[in-house]
Structure 1
Amino acid sequence: MAADTLFEEELRRAVDAEVDSTLASGLDAELTHRQLMARAQLFVAACVWPSSSRSGDPQLIEAAGDCVAALRRRQGPSGLFVGGDNVDSPPDSAFTANDVCDTLHLLRSSGVIETVAGASALADDLDAIADAVEPALLVGGVHTPNHRWEITAALARLHRRRPSAALVARAAEWLAEGIDIAADGVYSERSANYAAYVSNPSLTVIADVFDSAAARDAVIRNLESTLGLIHPDGTVETVHSRRQDQLSRFALSPYLAMYRGYAIRLGRRDFAWAARRAQEQGIVHPASLLVDLLLDPRIGEQLPEATKPEPAGKWDRSALAIDANPQRRLVVFGGTDYPRLRRIRSGLSTNPTFLRLFAGTVVLDSMRLSRDFFGLGPFRAERFTADHLDGVARYRLSETASANYYQPIGPAQRTASGEYALTDDGRFYGSMSFADRRADPVALRTDVDVVVTDDGAAVSIVFDGPDCAWALELSFRGGSFEGVDPQNDGTAILAAGAGSYRNGDDRIIFEADALYRADGPGRYRPGEDYAFLGATDAAMGDRVYLTGRSPGRVTLTLRAENLRA
């Protein structure tokens, strides 16, 4: 198939710029082992690529050699690399080992060893590093789900370098666990970041080296699933993630190599659409993309004709639904891990955002519900149900938050010293032997009903419980408010009726029902999990609040509008 010359030219410019800036920055002593090897890989790839302006340049091999020499000094007695907060880390070392093996493959398959000064010695040094790290990766463990595939990819690349029954057997142990992908195509970490940078690239190498149909199928299913998560602004939905990206926007651009490669391999027009969208955002990691191209030249071929996929979907395991039409795109989420585990931890989904709305250039980035209720933090649904009645999509998100007051401890459990076990109440620890006391619970039930409309949604919230303050927070980006009361802290209050957020001809109108009147301050309360550390997970952006007190109900109607339509 013919080469995609526009793609190649864009990549060439990005690679040339990256090489020039990296050479100019010098060899900083603070560079990590991963950064050192990434630099070496960039220089080697640019040297061996015929389209690079520095093709065949011995200066690049020399610069790569300096990086590799520094890398060898970072390799400890175990063969693992020194540096970072994960000490003696097999998975962190696997990231670098993967780059070592790919760089060796480029050197040996390109002919530069015979034609460029220093290339042979560089290959010998990389071989020595690979030899030293291989025993550690054969026995080393992991501590996150995606690490299994990063380490297995390193085992695959080491096996490609020098076939070994031990490497195959160890890879088989990891693969025997089964790939952690749900029926809806989302990996267990539910993270766009780790899918794009770790799981999909690693499983692709595993599939190619070990001919693993399961690994290849997992990547394809995840890419299919991700199509429905791509928003009009070119980001991939992350509200359901269990990793760091759950509180940030993640661009589609890191998916470029995967979507290009599989679009061409499989003739997938929907993947071609995603690849074009990713490329429109610019090439963010030119060295990595160039290595992918050099190892699999098909990535540089012309894409199939692009076909835009269906713009919506439902991800049952994540309790996530997206409903889209030409006027608006609505996201509803009710799948955090917090109600079940009552913890804020890395590796858990805890984002309290339960709704987003896209309307042209205006975005309601986050709708959250905050309460003054025993410091238990914002509403996070513990139940998520969906149905369609008469063609109308409806979602219910429910939570019952509860805290206890405790009665005197019984005679059999009393101590003369007054010392009792330090136990967890579910909100805090106290020397109270809580489990031995009769508890008087206080509960607040909250039901959020989202009824999808052609131009937005009707959001009804019912509070059933004691008198406490609540604040419904809407955080926007892309425009400015109209019809709200500005506050001294830069936020705003919707006192009654309707307000809007507008950019040019695009706006989102938010209108409360006729009974609503603001009652209380508009502020977000992150809960004691954050507050006792002086921290917060508060949303950013332009924020407006509806406020009130429980029990009771409020209905907010959201309408996306384009004034030119």
Structure 2
Amino acid sequence: MLKYEALLENLNEQIETILPRQIMDAGREDYGGFVSDGIAGATNVSAVSTLGYAYLLEGGRYYQSEEILARILAGAAFARKIRRESGCFDLITTNFDSSPDTGFLVEGLAPVVRAARKAKDDGAGQIAEVLGEIIQTAVPGMIAGGFHTPNHRWVLVAALSQALELFPDLDGMDTIESYLAETIDNNADGEYIERSAGTYNAICNRALRLASDALNRPQLLEPVRQNLDLSYHMLHADGTVVTSFSRRQDHGTRVVLVGMVDSYYNMARREENGFYAAVADWLYAISPGGLPWALEPFLTHPEWRVDNLEREPLPESYARVYPTAQLWRVRREKTSATAGAGITSPFGVKHGDVELASVNLCASYFSIAQFSGETFEEVDGKIRMTHISRSSDGGRPGYDLPLGREVAFEEFYNLRKERDVYALPPLTTVLEIEEVDSGFNLHVKSEGYDRVPFQIACDFVPGGELDFDSGIVRGQAAEVAFLKSGYATYHINNDAISIGPGAYAHRFWALRGSESAPTAFRVLMTFTTPVDHLLEIRCGTWSAAEEKLV
């Protein structure tokens, strides 16, 4: 169970890592700043919010600590010195005079100021005053400054709405309404635009629930519920989340979803939802972290520090189709699989410690035949996706024809759209996926033009061994093996995934037009079109005694 006392212990440990980073030499120009990568950057001021939790939360090692108070005041002084005239701060790695990054800072400071106002000691009063001044001064810059990415809108809404809750005389409601008028960017299945299961979904959920409370608009919680429900079903048995769909920097990364603990727990307590509470417990038990946000529900609602909410058992076996998001998730205890359209890794499966991160398909046809499902449908319990190899400008497959007039040096590419095209038929590839006992069958068909080199690539997370009829290969990053025939089993510890039967029609190690896999161990099966192949994937236990899947 997620316990307040255990979170405080982890907060104590985090404070121990923050203190050595703060400059406390009053003679230095950057006095009060927090050093990261050799410099006291402006947005590093966010560390004062963590110090604020440590000072305000009763039972912690640093509760009402004079040292922590002095460090908060020093950090606030540094913030006043380093902020821009607009009241905004720089994210010195990329964004300057940045309203969205200031929004992140204010969003984190506001719960501390709110809690400090309710505390009764003089130190808390000083914290509320100096951090509140940072919030007040930042509001005009956040109003004027705008944003870059979709999630920034809701961070700014959360920051501004909390600022107005704390300081009702401030302007900013018109800006909040302008952002909210765009409507929340979640679809019917609970996805946000960025599809960032590992990072930005958590940021959107947090921002929307904070804004909901500050504005007294409970309707803002509905997309949070939808995404929390979806997010659980995107988790593997080890708490890591599927990131192959992400449009952001978490794409393809291994992330335990601890950044969503605060929203799961907050929604659990406000709605007495034992399922959400159980998810929060589980994620935090796997990866204790996410501070200080994991403590925000307890800072804002001290009454929640006593927790008698009954937990619900978490489902470990399910199959779910999300038609709007065009994805399919299957979990059978330690086995979980994902299929989806619109990405070049249309299928992946994880079984315990072993992961087949991607099964991807490609032909060399004019370098436009890397499979990405353009359609997605459930047919008789199977998932079917189709890719038609045709370039977006319609010029491929085919060849440009001469214009019959002068083409100036600088005009060649601009005139391409005016040329007639000698067209060839597109290559049509269909992938049909079916769950079977202990695994999955993938039926691959590709036709439309003959004698085209084609491949099925099975990309495994490195670190295992691949056993096949007459050999063994270590699965190392950036290495490629061909499975000419029969079956092969990739295993780590006692967990194993078998693939096959293999096929061998060409020896292209890096098929032209195909995506490389520099961080994976790739097993290739090769063909020439037309292709009609049933790939069998099975999950189970590796028997070292019998050297096979059992």
* Shorter-normalised TM range: 0.7 to 0.9
From 384, 392, 403, give the equivalent of 1:395: 384
Structure 1 position 44 matched with structure 2 position 52: yes
Query: For the Cα contact (< 8 Å) 2:453–2:528, is it kept in 1?
Result: yes
Instruction: Tell me the residue number matched to 1:460.
Output: 443
TM-score of the pair, normalised by structure 1: 0.84
Instruction: Tell me the residue number matched to 1:186.
Output: 191
Q: 1:327 to 1:173 in 2, by over 3 A?
A: closer
Unaligned ranges ≥5, structure 1: 337-351, 423-429, 528-535
Instruction: Tell me the residue number matched to 2:342.
Output: 335
Tell me the SS of whatever aligns to 2:250. Answer: helix
Instruction: Tell me the residue number matched to 1:361.
Output: 353
TM-score of the pair, normalised by structure 2: 0.87
Higher mean Cα deviation, 544-553 or 433-442?
544-553
Deviation per residue, 1:111-162 (Å, 9 max, x gap): 23x2x3xx55554332332222111222332222111110000111111111
Paired amino acid for 1:510:
I
- Superposition deviation, residue 377 in structure 1: 6.5
From 441, 457, 460, give the equivalent of 1:476: 460
Instruction: Tell me the residue number matched to 2:364.
Output: 372
Structure 1 position 35 matched with structure 2 position 44: yes
Q: 1:409 to 1:82 in 2, by over 3 A?
A: same
Instruction: Tell me the residue number matched to 1:345.
Output: none
Higher mean Cα deviation, 495-504 or 27-36?
27-36
Query: For the Cα contact (< 8 Å) 1:315–1:321, is it kept in 2?
Result: yes
1:109-128 matches, cutoff 5 A = 109-112=118-121, 114=122, 116=123, 120-128=125-133
Instruction: Tell me the residue number matched to 1:349.
Output: none
Paired amino acid for 1:398:
H
1:27-426 matches, cutoff 5 A = 27=23, 28=35, 30-37=39-46, 39-84=47-92, 85-112=94-121, 114=122, 116=123, 120-164=125-169, 166-297=171-302, 299-300=304-305, 301-309=307-315, 311-326=318-333, 328-336=335-343, 352-376=344-368, 378-388=370-380, 392-402=381-391, 403=396, 404-410=398-404, 414-415=405-406, 418-419=407-408, 422=411
Percent of residue pairs bearing the same amino acid type: 23
Instruction: Tell me the residue number matched to 1:20.
Output: 16
Q: Aligned pair count?
A: 516
Deviation per residue, 1:339-382 (Å, 9 max, x gap): xxxxxxxxxxxxx1111112233221111223333333732122
Tell me the SS of whatever aligns to 1:481. Answer: strand
- Superposition deviation, residue 95 in structure 1: 0.8
- Superposition deviation, residue 519 in structure 1: 2.2
Instruction: Tell me the residue number matched to 2:521.
Output: 542
Structure 1 position 7 matched with structure 2 position 3: yes
Query: For the Cα contact (< 8 Å) 1:74–1:81, is it kept in 2?
Result: yes
Query: For the Cα contact (< 8 Å) 2:258–2:284, is it kept in 1?
Result: yes
Unaligned ranges ≥5, structure 2: 24-34, 544-549
Q: CA RMSD in A?
A: 2.6
Deviation per residue, 1:163-199 (Å, 9 max, x gap): 1473333212221221111111111222113444421
Higher mean Cα deviation, 357-366 or 228-237?
357-366
Paired amino acid for 2:11:
V
From 520, 531, 545, give the equivalent of 2:507: 520
Instruction: Tell me the residue number matched to 2:541.
Output: 562
